[in-house]
Amino acid sequence: MFSKHSCAGISLQTHILYLIVFLTRYVNSEFFDPPIYNIIFKIFYISSTLLTIVLMLTKFNKTYNKKHDSFRIIWILLICVLATALSTREYSLIEITWTFSLWTEAFAILPQLFLLQRTQRVDVMTHKYIFFLGLYRLFYIINWIYKTINAGRNRTPYVMWITGIIQTLLYADFIYYYIKAIIYGKEFELPR
């Protein structure tokens, strides 16, 4: 965004959803629990996402493609509230907000994918960003498998598995076309 002085191709809706994810996951009574690097990461995630949103609405507003970034995130939030009500392990504030953050994160990339599909333009930084987000989710699932094998079956809540798999599947199509473009040495483009 800074190097291009533009936010073209970036979904504000996705960043709003990620801000909701970070606020519901991290702003609770455990926010200042050690270790210190964990506290720093929480502050960084929240502040950098908020800064991105503010910059998209102010400094880079002229380059923001509001017409194509029209995904109605209210539907994602309503589905996530319902899924949280049905899947939370206990009805405490921390557990409910944590479960809600998992469901919201699972679907947060949808507005970005819809924006790219509508514009049919994906610049290098954007497709690498989405590819590595998808790869990050894949490694999360590998980590959960490892933990389940080594720590026992009940260590990882099933809601983490379900939301992680949903999120990885949402990235799968994008990752497939990204890898295909690399293998064949072609320019990355989404199917029409």
Is residue 24 domain-resident? yes
pLDDT confidence of residue 123: 81
CB of 171 within 8 A of CB of 187? no
pLDDT confidence of residue 153: 55
Q: What is the CA radius of gyration of the chain?
A: 18
Q: Annotate 36-71 with DSSP letters as a single string.
A: HHHHHHHHHHHHHHHHHHHHHHTTTGGG--TTT---
Domain tally, the chain: 1
pLDDT confidence of residue 187: 81
Is residue 192 domain-resident? no
CA distances from 145 to 43, 61, 105, 148, 172 (A): 29, 42, 20, 5, 19
Is residue 190 domain-resident? no
Tell me the pLDDT band of 134, cut-offs 50, 70 and 90: confident
170/160 Cα distance (integer angstroms): 15
Is residue 101 domain-resident? yes
Assess whether pLDDT exceeds 70 at residue 2: no
Please name the amino acid found at residue 37. Y
Tell me the pLDDT band of 135, cut-offs 50, 70 and 90: confident
Assess whether pLDDT exceeds 90 at residue 140: no
Is residue 167 domain-resident? yes
The number of beta carbons lying within 10 Å of the beta carbon of residue 133 is 18
Q: Is 76 left (phi over 0), alpha (psi -120 to 50) or beta?
A: alpha
Residue 54: phi and psi, rounded to 5, are -60, -45
Q: List pLDDT tens digits, range 162-185.
A: 998 999 899 988 888 888 888 998
Half-sphere exposure of 113 (CA within 13 A, CB side): 20
Q: The whole model's pTM is what?
A: 0.89
CB of 138 within 8 A of CB of 118? no
34/17 Cα distance (integer angstroms): 26
Is residue 82 domain-resident? yes
Mean pLDDT of the residues in the chain: 89
Percent residues over pLDDT 90 in the chain:
53
Is residue 75 domain-resident? yes
Q: List pLDDT tens digits, range 55-106.
A: 999 999 999 999 999 999 999 999 999 999 999 999 999 999 999 999 999 9
Query: Range of 53's domain?
Result: 2-184
